[in-house]
């Protein structure tokens, strides 16, 4: 197994020498754009007006020189909250790109979580966020997580990928046993591998959505409440929020974090009725 990374993302970014990662950013962002096209083809989506302010971070008052980004939030009949975003300063090392898609309560399918970035090495995160407790529901665990167990073990054994261990307790609590969370050197072959896994994970997830059985109407309010609370916890406890504050100021950063979990949304949540 490769060496584990125990240094926080903030320290990795602040301690590393600056390097121009624009080329790497553009290749990673292209992966997210291809994934976004698959998502657009499958779901009916509407951008929430609360996110329009953040369509281009360069227009924000207080935006630090050299930083850029975009944060767009969407909802739809099957989608509670979908975030498509990036943030960073590609010419001076740090970038972070996200696709997170939370489904409405009419489906038991796990939510889709995905991130790539440079800190300044490659950073990758992929996970299926469960709607039920895995230790209590073996059928749910087997249905949605058995297929990716071998992939997880393969990556653990691949010396190119260094397991990233968050220093934040809740961040580790929120990861499933098959979560992909690694650092790696910037290398074309490594990015090829990341791209392959990214598309496979998304395609598998989209197939689950297509094949999902409907949840009982009576259960949906509790499912929706649990989904939002966990999403809120993850966003509020993210240690990397401090990076956004440093780049864009505390007021902008607080508004961004709220938008990530839907705290300032203006469009209604789907009920699935």
Specify the CATH number for the domain of residue 164: 3.40.1500.20
* Residue 267: inside a domain: no
Using the structure block, give the residue that is written with the tokens 């602040």. 14
Q: How confident is the model at residue 1 (pLDDT cuts 50, 70, 90)?
A: very low
Q: How many domains does the chain have?
A: 1
Q: How far apart are CA 128 and CA 133, in angstroms?
A: 13
Indicate whether 217 belongs to any domain. Answer: yes
Range 30-39 average pLDDT: 98
202 is a domain residue:
yes
pLDDT in tens, 94-121: 899 999 999 999 999 999 999 999 988 9
Contact 35, 200 (CB under 8 A): no
Determine, yes or no, domain membership for 104.
yes
Domain containing 111: what range?
9-261
Are 29 and 97 in contact by the 8 Å Cβ rule? The answer is: yes
In a domain, 110, yes or no: yes
- Residue 271 pLDDT greater than 90, yes or no: no
Other C-beta atoms closer than 10 Å to the C-beta of 71 total: 21
pLDDT tens, 20-31? 999 999 999 999
Helices (H) and strands (E) in the chain, counts: 9, 8
Residue 269 lies in a domain: no
Instruction: Decide if 105 contacts 221 (C-beta within 8 A).
Output: yes
Query: In this structure, is residue 272 part of a structural domain?
Result: no
Task: Write down the pLDDT at residue 209.
Answer: 98
pTM of the model: 0.95
List pLDDT tens digits, range 162-207: 999 999 999 999 999 999 999 999 999 999 999 999 999 999 999 9
Residue 4 lies in a domain: no
Specify the 3-state DSSP secondary structure of 202.
Answer: helix
Cβ 85 vs Cβ 57: under 8 Å: no
How does residue 273 score in pLDDT terms, banded at 50, 70 and 90? low
> Which pLDDT does position 60 carry in this prediction?
85
């Amino acid at each position: 197994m490769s060496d584990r990374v125990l240094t926080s993302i903030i320290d990795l970014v602040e301690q590393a020498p600056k390097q121009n990662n624009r080329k790497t950013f553009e290749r990673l962002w292209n992966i997210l754009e291809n994934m976004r096209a698959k998502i657009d083809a499958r779901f009916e989506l509407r951008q929430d007006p609360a996110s329009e302010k953040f369509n281009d971070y360069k227009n924000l008052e207080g935006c630090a020189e050299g930083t850029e980004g975009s944060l767009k939030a969407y909802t739809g009949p099957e989608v509670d909250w979908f975030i498509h975003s990036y943030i960073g300063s590609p010419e001076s090392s740090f970038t972070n790109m996200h696709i997170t898609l939370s489904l409405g309560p009419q489906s038991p399918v796990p939510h889709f979580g995905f991130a790539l970035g440079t800190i300044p090495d490659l950073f990758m995160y992929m996970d299926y966020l469960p709607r039920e407790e895995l230790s209590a529901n073996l059928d749910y665990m087997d249905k949605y997580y058995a297929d990716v167990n071998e992939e997880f073990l393969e990556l653990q054994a691949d010396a190119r990928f260094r397991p990233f261990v968050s220093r934040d307790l809740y961040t580790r609590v929120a990861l499933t046993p098959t979560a992909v969370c690694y650092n790696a050197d910037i290398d074309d072959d490594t990015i090829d591998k990341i791209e392959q896994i990214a598309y496979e994970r998304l395609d598998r997830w989209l197939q689950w959505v297509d094949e999902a059985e409907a949840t009982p109407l009576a259960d949906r309010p509790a499912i929706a409440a649990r989904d939002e609370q966990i999403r809120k916890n993850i966003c509020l406890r993210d240690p990397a929020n401090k990076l956004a504050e440093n780049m864009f100021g505390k007021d902008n950063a607080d508004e961004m974090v709220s938008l990530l979990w839907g705290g300032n949304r203006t469009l209604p949540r789907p009920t699935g009725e």
